[in-house]
Amino acid sequence: METLLSALRAAAEPTRLRILALCRKGELTVSELMHILGQSQPRVSRHLKLLCDAGLLDRFQEGSWVFHRAVHTGAGADVLAALEDLMPADDPQLARDARLLAEIKHDRAAQAAAYFRANAIAWDKVRSLHVDDKEVETAILDLLPEYGIETLLDVGTGTGRMLEVMAPRIQAGVGIDASRDMLAAARSHLDHGGYHHCQVRQADMYRTPLWDAAFDAAVIHQVLHFADDPAAAVAETARVLRPGGVMLVIDFAPHSLEHLRRDHEHRRLGFTDAEMSEWMTDAGLEPQRIKHLAGDQLTVTLWLAIKPENAAVRHLTAVA
């Protein structure tokens, strides 16, 4: 009861109700909220702290930026859903806020488009060497369970495409990436698709600020060939899987295209089934299935593993 009362007390203020309505529609920085609300940084920050303390908003830092978004699980999410139903559809202030939010999202999309234009040629050259992305995505959906995935982690999310592909099957998705440019692009794509139950974070895939056993499934899509230590990335991802959870790694089979290392920063020229299975086993997973998709010069491989139901789970502690 006290949790509910705390949430209701925090929400029962005009500006904070406006903030909640905005954060239900996406992740926003303090400066973006200042622009929409027309209020000073100290006032906005004070409102945000109250809402975070009441369990209605999540706060996370990405470099020098701080983002806020509505919670998607627990009692706070139930309170937000009830409040959204009670929000007056014809309120002029909420309508103005929505227009300003749309402008911010439009600016994000424009910045993302500019970034893609600058990098599209390099990406297209690599894509032309392997099977069509749609074929890979179909294989991903075939291998991952159709039901029972409540929470999904996408490691090295890039443009957020895996979150988009899996969005209809999951209740909540988190994508992590080290690149702020990529995260900006991912946020734009998720906003455009209306996938408000998915979010992205800046994080190191070797040391993620995520709870142990927090996810039902994890995807590492076309990331490990850039990694200095792919085995460590697999092990860290396995840490955040719950017992019974599944991991799907998608990457290239061994190849000899040295120009990918020279021109596209690939550190590894593909992976054998044996070494991927060994890394998964060492991480406490049980390899399940392997699928090869041969392309023109590159073969895309999908490796599926499961965390045993009897796997030991450490206390839920976040990594700093």
What's 2-102's CATH class?
mainly alpha
Provide the pLDDT for residue 317: 34
- Architecture per CATH, 129-306: 3-Layer(aba) Sandwich (3.40)
Q: Is the pLDDT of residue 276 over 90?
A: yes
Domain ranges in the chain? 2-102, 129-306
Question: Looking at 61-70, 159-168, 208-217, 278-287, which range is the least confident one?
Answer: 61-70
The alpha carbons of the chain give a radius of gyration, in whole angstroms, of: 21
Evaluate if residue 221 carries a pLDDT over 60.
Answer: yes
Question: Is it the case that residue 320 has pLDDT exceeding 50?
Answer: no
pLDDT interval class at 97 (50, 70, 90): very high
Per-residue pLDDT reduced to its tens digit, 35-57: 999 999 999 999 999 999 999 99
